[in-house]
Structure 1
């Protein structure tokens, strides 16, 4: 097997495990909410910990990618990530939960930046587009994570045993894949943050990532609660599962779709799907109509992050790793505002009305993306 194919498989393992671990945590949020007896506002406040901690991870990763190869960052951040996941299931107080969630979020931020930077480097070795497939594999890991969580919930397996199984699989797999990841992929230029007038290229991409993070964060953190409390479904992971399935399957076709219709049109289609799907879920909060709505949202959000990361890799000012790290800050702000905002709105106005936040975010992809392509047509 060619070396670049071996590298691609190894990196795919990391993307898969990242999706698996994140979905494992997110799908059991309703379990934790019930265990700690939290209302929506309290849960929203605890969820604030993750974007705040992730901001630390984003800032530190900018320095780390300039000092170390991405493969080393992947290994160590993933090991701590797995231990933190297990820790979430073991803590008995909200204070300790906050501490463990902070560690979990920092590690997730570092490994995501390292993975995406390595994917851009690996893309340069291939003639065909492959980045979309990596994000598809992340979503596939998410689907498997939610599916496994659904089985655990269905058979009433406690969260400790559930998270222990996933953590052990992750630790074994990341250590096995490490030897086949790209070596010496540290960029020698573009690793320093330049303070000054905002770069329009990075700024518009950052806004797209901001709204994408707000949409995905809202679905990750609140879809299970929505199905449990609004749709009144006992197996509350169904909504999250169908969302992840359609997001994953769409990402596997992303590279071909981009070749046919291009990014400007796909941003518009994605925004329309997100808004339409969310409206369907709000106006018709029954089991099947809510599933259809979550399907549309999953298809809509599937392309935003991969497309924006591809564009970030074309920056003439920063290295791919640094560009991703910078626009990642916008993602942190989106995660900072989104899930907690939905929690506070839900506490005061109800979860259905709070989901109008996602309708607005979906609509915002249209003007921002078109403004980006208009101002950057000479640089792409």
Structure 2
């Protein structure tokens, strides 16, 4: 096998893990309204359930940092992928809310390890290509999200039980990772810069972390509350339509984000994303009807699409640690935002109504303007 074939197979294998992560996460998110109904949860209680994930993700902070500094990350990636799939399956068969809590702990910790591993590998594989490809990996994650929510829509429309639904997804996922694992990038472990120590990160890393924190609040909130919003505010019976279109728009944008970065530059794209998120959420809140909410969520999908790939690319410019460690630190902010945002929306919805709670996303969307400016000012001053 020549070098060209080898790197192409590594790219395809890693793409499979991005795809699977998107499928499984959107499968979980699209079934949240089902779990809410099955266990008769109100918004406040659902918020408490979703809070399990940020709490358990804290366990994954030292674990993921230690794994990327000590091991070839394809090994923890494969182990975490198995536990990720098994925990998703267990969510479907859980006999009580406490068993779902247990499954979500495993789901959350596994997802964190997966995210660190696949993003670290994506930066390493990027070095083998002249053109930018990191955005495409995130686009593939979004394709997985579309496939997951599309399959969920079919399951819901034909009234297939959540047990059979999640069993099919888990079996498919296990087969996928068994076939892809042998082709992953090997020995992806930095020889220096891995001396991870708890402490205050640099200003640059903190700014990148805050960007993905607010990106996670906006994106995670859309994943977990989009379906509930369409069901309870828009009053749409097939409540996954908004989620599906959100994922389609995010995917279209992510598959072109590499070219967009080269043409317009990242700083302008951060500002554009901010305006699209604020405008889209405002449209869905002020006009909570099928088409206006659908268009609004599409705008949010376009707006959030570039935030992660651009920020992970900027992580490679940090000086203090290796890329794997920087991504681990930055992803800590993302993990907290992704799983802290949804329960906060639940508490606000319980107090003020879900429609008003969505204003939180407008505030989050605004934050990308000042934060991105500080990041690029820092890079200019450093150079």
Compute the TM-score of the two structures, normalised by the length of structure 1: 0.98
Give distance in 2, aligned partners of 1:79 and 1:329: 22
1:280 to 280, 283, 287: 283
In structure 2, the residue matched to 1:54 is: 57
Alpha-carbon separation, structure 2, partners of 1:126 and 1:58 = 30
Contact 1:62/1:191 (<8 A) preserved: no
1:45 matched residue in structure 2: 48
**Are the aligned partners of 1:66 and 1:188 in contact in 2 as well (CA < 8 Å)?**
no
Q: Does 1:375 align with 2:378?
A: yes
Segments of 4+ in structure 1 off by > 6 A?
none
Give 1:11-90 correspondences, 5 Å limit. Answer: 11-90=14-93
Paired residue for 1:302, among 287, 305, 325? Answer: 305
Instruction: Note the aligned Cα RMSD (angstroms).
Output: 1.1
Q: CA deviation at 1:24?
A: 0.5
Alignment correspondent of 1:115: 118
Native 8 Å contact 1:53 1:106 kept in 2 = yes
- Hey, what does 1:334 align to over in structure 2? 337
CA distance in 2, matches of 1:124, 1:150: 38
Residues 1:344 and 2:347 aligned together: yes
Cα 1:194/1:378, change in 2 over 3 Å: farther
Distance 1:84 1:265, change over 3 A: same
Separation (CA, whole Å) in 1 of partners of 2:65 and 2:201: 18
TM-score, with structure 2 as normaliser: 0.97
Task: Count residues in correspondence.
Answer: 380
Q: What does residue 155 of structure 2 align with?
A: 152
Indicate the residue corresponding to 2:214 in structure 1.
Answer: 211
Contact 1:52 1:332 in 2 (8 A): no
* CA–CA distance in structure 2, aligned partners of residues 48 and 127 of structure 1: 41
Q: After TM superposition, give the deviation of residue 314 of structure 1 in Å.
A: 1.8
- Contact 2:112-2:335 within 8 A present in 1 as well: no
5+ residue gaps, structure 2: none
Distance in 2 (alpha carbons) for counterparts of 1:58 and 1:251? 27
Asked whether the 8 Å contact 1:275–1:362 carries over to 2, the reply is yes
In structure 1, distance between residues paired with 2:197 and 2:353: 43
Determine if the alignment matches structure 1 residue 174 to structure 2 residue 177: yes
Equivalent residue number for residue 227 of structure 1: 230
1:57, distance to aligned residue in structure 2 (A): 1.5
Partners of 2:276 and 2:157 in 1: how far apart? 31
Runs of at least 5 residues in structure 1 that lack an aligned partner in the other structure: none
Q: Distance in 2 between the 1:122 and 1:242 partners?
A: 30
Deviations 1:310-367 (A, max 9, x none): 1112211111111011011111221343111100110111101000000000011001
1:131-146 equivalent positions in 2, closer than 5 A: 131-146=134-149
For structure 1, which segment, 65-74 or 145-154, has the greater mean C-alpha deviation from structure 2 after superposition? 65-74
The residue that corresponds to 1:98 in the other structure is 101
